[in-house]
Amino acid sequence: MGEAKFYYKNNKAPKPNRPNSMGTSAIIEYNGKVLLEKRTDSNRWALIGGGLNIDESLEQCIIREIKEETALDIDEKSLYFWKIYSDPSRIGEYPDGNIIRIITAVYLVELNSIHKLVCSEESLELRYFSYDELKKLNIAETHKHIINDYLLSHNPRVNGGI
């Protein structure tokens, strides 16, 4: 089976063959570092998150995704809605043949206590990265600009983004 491919502002991206996909992602910070997962479907780093189920709110979606992908229990009071990314050039091409336009609501979560992370079947690895380390990673195109925006807006000492 092939790998998932992600596109952002790429004229060579394939055209979607499925309805738009609404989902959520979380920028989870702990001790000044950002949590990313190494995805099994692409061997690329990405934010924690996933697709919205038909019977849930955006907040329920990100709480579920965080629990499924990390085993962390987050309550709605710990979430801070940050931004929606809806650029039509955000495309995901998956091994099953589905090609979708991805619309993502991004939430910020700051953790202040020691916790244990547990990988799901969707992740090869979970790890926190410093801002400097983020610049060296192979991050999925549909998440790289989100992380870059976050770093530039929340961390004045970061120059030029990732």
Query: In this predicted structure, what is the pLDDT of residue 2?
Result: 82
| Cα 125 from Cα 40, distance rounded (Å) | 9
| Cα 38 from Cα 158, distance rounded (Å) | 23
pLDDT, mean of each 10-residue run, the chain (162 residues): 91 97 97 95 96 97 98 94 98 96 97 92 95 92 95 69 61
CA 24 to centroid of chain Cα atoms? 7
Any idea what DSSP says for residue 139?
B
Q: CA 138 → CA 6, 52, 111, 162, distances in Å?
A: 12, 25, 24, 10
Query: In this predicted structure, what is the pLDDT of residue 135?
Result: 86
Please state the pTM of the whole predicted model: 0.93
